[in-house]
């Protein structure tokens, strides 16, 4: 069945574990090529694993993310924003990483290039970019040397108490401007270090390099409880909400928008753009406001209702806590009362074809962590869409962004939780642009999310 094959290939992506290989098209736009982690071209290629093992990674990653966000939502950092960092789920549970290769520092005698390249986890919920530095103890295990900051020609320390220190509410690290990033959970990953100024360089396969000088960079000297299995990840590239703060990467490089497109397949590349190239226009482009929420580093939307195959569930008023959108969350989480009604909607849809969900005793063993699964007769292809009705825009998710497939069954890729968050599984085959030059500030809008359907594996 063609649909089943498409779903099975999609499972490979739906860990949202895409590798970003950094390239730059020019001074106005930073362009990052998205490479699937299960591709043999990825440095994080896990070898041949089964579709069920990929499903398990997806489920466990979502559960860990949900636990992390809920358990740390009350924590605050130096700007009054939450200390939640999007990578906690993949760090602790699986290989669900967005990663960019970024050059750091300036080395006149460094063989082959002027900087040192590191893979940094892309984090849309963090305002701090940091790399593990030489002299760390304890350290995250790496297969390459930690960043030798003292040998970099562009390294500039910031003394403790200096008025340019972007983290004045954080304790100093020894005699320098300091940072402390905690990730929540029972045995939380934690990094402590100094804020410095450095040069970050994005390399291009076609047009050389683009360097950004004098940026704030965290130099990690103490890291606890991390579990990066490939031992190739050196730190974090923070793309969280910038606001008026000096620390976030977007503000430092002077960019007002970024966009990404998550491919349905692990073979073609797609892109993440930061800058002018992220602008979206056209008759098919829809727009909804970006809002602040309980976690000020995350991006929130005004979700008003949900439909299953064009049948509204009449959920108005059910999203009082808001709905975040997160590329790092493998699949969508719905607050428990909303999930219960969405579940009924799927059951009612399949009932018209005389298909009833598995009960707890008959559900396939390999998908025991998923709540709602249906046996699928041979040749059946009447699968539903799911529409998220945002203020001013409807995100119509096709069946390949909703269902996980086995040999003779499908499961709904949603989970119940304490928050509502649109995950990466439901974002595939759309291009999304986060544009902070748009939005009505008098109504509390921080920007606009623009989106349109797109084949993310082909140039756009």
Q: At what angle do helices 51-72 and 2-13 cross, to 10 degrees?
A: 50
Q: Where are the domains of the chain?
A: 2-7+16-453
Judged by DSSP in three states, 52 sits in: helix
pTM: 0.80
**What pLDDT was estimated at residue 5?**
42
Per mean pLDDT, which of 209-213, 331-335, 345-349 is the most reliable? 345-349
d(CA 2, CA 301): 34
**In 3D, which of 88, 87, 119, 92 has the Cα closest to residue 103?**
119
Judged by DSSP in three states, 389 sits in: strand
**What pLDDT was estimated at residue 189?**
74
Residue 427 has pLDDT above 70, yes or no: yes
d(CA 63, CA 369): 10
Residue 216 has pLDDT above 60, yes or no: yes
The number of residues in the chain equals 460
Q: Which of 81-85, 124-128, 344-348, 400-404 has the lowest mean pLDDT?
A: 81-85
Instruction: For residue 441, give Cα distances in angstroms to 281, 289, 290, 445.
Output: 21, 10, 10, 5
Element (H, E) at 20: strand 19-26
Fold of 2-7+16-453: Cathepsin D, subunit A; domain 1 (2.40.70)
Residues of the chain with pLDDT > 70, as a percent, come to 72
- Banded model confidence at residue 334, pLDDT cuts 50, 70, 90: very high
Q: What is the DSSP string of 55-107?
A: HHHHHHHHHHHHHHHHHHTT---TTS-----TTHHHHHHS----EEEEEES--
Mean pLDDT of the chain, nearest integer: 78
**What pLDDT was estimated at residue 265?**
65
- Banded model confidence at residue 241, pLDDT cuts 50, 70, 90: confident
Mean predicted confidence (pLDDT) in 163-175: 93
- Banded model confidence at residue 22, pLDDT cuts 50, 70, 90: very low
């Amino acid at each position: 069945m063609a649909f089943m094959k498409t779903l099975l290939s999609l499972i490979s992506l739906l860990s949202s574990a895409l590798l970003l290989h950094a390239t730059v098209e020019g001074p106005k736009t930073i362009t990052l090529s998205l490479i699937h982690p299960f591709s043999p071209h990825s440095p994080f290629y896990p070898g041949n694993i089964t579709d069920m093992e990929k499903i398990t990674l997806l489920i466990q990653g979502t559960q860990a993310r949900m636990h992390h966000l809920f358990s740390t939502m009350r924590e605050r950092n130096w700007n009054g924003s939450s200390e939640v960092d999007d990578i906690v789920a993949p760090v602790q549970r699986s290989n669900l990483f967005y990663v960019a290769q970024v050059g750091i520092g300036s080395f006149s005698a460094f063989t082959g290039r002027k900087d040192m390249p590191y893979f940094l986890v892309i984090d849309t919920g963090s305002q701090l970019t940091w790399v593990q530095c030489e002299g760390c103890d304890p350290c995250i295990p790496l297969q390459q040397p930690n960043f030798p900051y003292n040998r970099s020609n562009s390294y500039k320390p910031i003394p403790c108490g200096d008025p340019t220190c972007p983290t004045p509410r954080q304790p100093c690290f020894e005699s320098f401007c300091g940072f402390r990033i905690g990730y929540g959970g029972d045995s939380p990953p934690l990094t402590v270090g100094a804020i410095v100024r450095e040069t970050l360089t994005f390399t291009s396969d076609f047009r050389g390099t683009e360097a950004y000088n004098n940026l704030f960079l965290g130099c990690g000297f103490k890291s606890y409880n991390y579990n990066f299995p490939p031992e190739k990840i050196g730190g974090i590239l923070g793309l969280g909400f910038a606001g008026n703060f000096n620390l976030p990467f977007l503000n430092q490089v002077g960019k007002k928008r970024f966009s990404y497109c998550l491919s349905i397949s692990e073979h073609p590349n797609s892109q993440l753009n930061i800058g002018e190239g992220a602008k979206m226009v056209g008759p098919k482009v829809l727009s909804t406001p970006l809002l602040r929420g309980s976690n000020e580093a995350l991006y929130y939307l005004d979700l008003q209702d949900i439909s299953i195959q064009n049948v509204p569930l009449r959920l108005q008023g059910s999203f009082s806590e808001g709905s975040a959108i997160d590329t790092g969350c493998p699949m969508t989480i719905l607050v428990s009362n909303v999930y219960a009604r969405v579940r009924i909607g799927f059951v009612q849809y399949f009932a018209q074809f005389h298909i009833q969900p598995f009960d707890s005793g008959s559900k396939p063993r390999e998908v025991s962590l998923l709540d709602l699964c249906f046996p699928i007769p041979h040749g059946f292809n009447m699968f539903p869409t799911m529409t998220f009705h945002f203020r001013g825009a409807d995100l119509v998710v096709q069946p390949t962004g909703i269902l996980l497939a086995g040999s003779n069954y499908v499961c709904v890729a949603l989970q119940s939780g304490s928050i509502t968050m649109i995950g990466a599984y439901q974002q595939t085959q759309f291009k999304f642009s986060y544009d902070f030059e748009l939005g009505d500030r008098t109504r509390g809008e921080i920007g606009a999310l623009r989106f349109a359907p797109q084949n993310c594996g082909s140039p756009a």
